[in-house]
Amino acid sequence: MGVLAGILATLGAAIIGEVIARRVFELDLPPSLGLWIAGPLAGIALLSLNAWLSARKVLRASPALTLEGFRVAKLY
């Protein structure tokens, strides 16, 4: 999922950068291999960080407390 998010973000950045370079600055912008490597890697890193930060509370609690909280939340 992080790779897909990174590829989509990289594609958008590449298209916007190309349009701005050609229409605003009248430059020929060569494709950047670094952008296509860094984009998916950044997507993976940010998705992993988000998952880890979201799961910290559940991972620190005992399984009984986690399941009890789920059971109480399900009743309402």
Q: Is the pLDDT of residue 59 over 90?
A: no
Q: What is the mean pLDDT of the chain?
A: 85
Q: What is the DSSP letter of 25?
A: S
Give the whole-number percent of the chain exceeding pLDDT 90.
Answer: 53
- Mean pLDDT over 33-55 rounds to 92
Total domain count, the chain: 1
Domain that holds residue 65: 2-75
Residue type, 52: W
Burial state string for 53-70 with b = 16 or more CB within 10 A and e = fewer than 16: eeeeeeeeeeeeeeeeee
Distance CA 45, CA 58 (A): 21
Query: Would you give the distance in Å from CA 2 to the centre of its chain?
Result: 5
